[in-house]
């Protein structure tokens, strides 16, 4: 069995997630994986579970939140296929 990195539960169906950066995380549920890995919207602070949108290097859960953020003048675009950097 493996222990969840977030809640500490020792669960026989735990799974590992490997990130592009080389980190390996162990979780007992998708809920715990989301809590540890999903980014937060810079406007409403909710977890971004889908693609989200990106404006000037800042990430939002939706176009509404991106438009509501202060001091943004860039084009709102879906982050699918976007490369950070």
- Give CA–CA dist 2/18, Å, rounded: 15
Report which of 46, 41, 42 is spatially closest to residue 71, judged by C-alpha positions. Answer: 42
| Domain definitions of the chain by residue range | 1-37, 39-85
pLDDT computed for residue 78 by the predictor? 66
pLDDT tens across 3-37, in order?
999 999 999 999 999 999 999 999 999 999 999 99
Cut 0.85: pTM above it: no
Pair type for strands 53-55 and 58-60: antiparallel
For residue 66, give the H/E element and its range.
helix 63-68
Report which of 26, 22, 24 is spatially closest to residue 11, judged by C-alpha positions. Answer: 26
| Structure tokens given for 2 | 């493996």
């Amino acid at each position: 069995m493996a222990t969840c990195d977030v809640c500490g539960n020792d669960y026989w169906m735990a799974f590992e997630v490997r990130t592009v950066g080389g980190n390996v995380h162990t979780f007992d549920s998708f809920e715990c994986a989301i809590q540890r890995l999903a980014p937060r919207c810079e406007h409403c602070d909710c977890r971004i579970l889908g693609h989200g949108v990106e404006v000037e290097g800042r990430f939002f859960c939706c176009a509404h939140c991106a438009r509501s953020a202060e001091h943004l003048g860039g084009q709102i675009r879906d982050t699918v296929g976007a490369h950070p950097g």
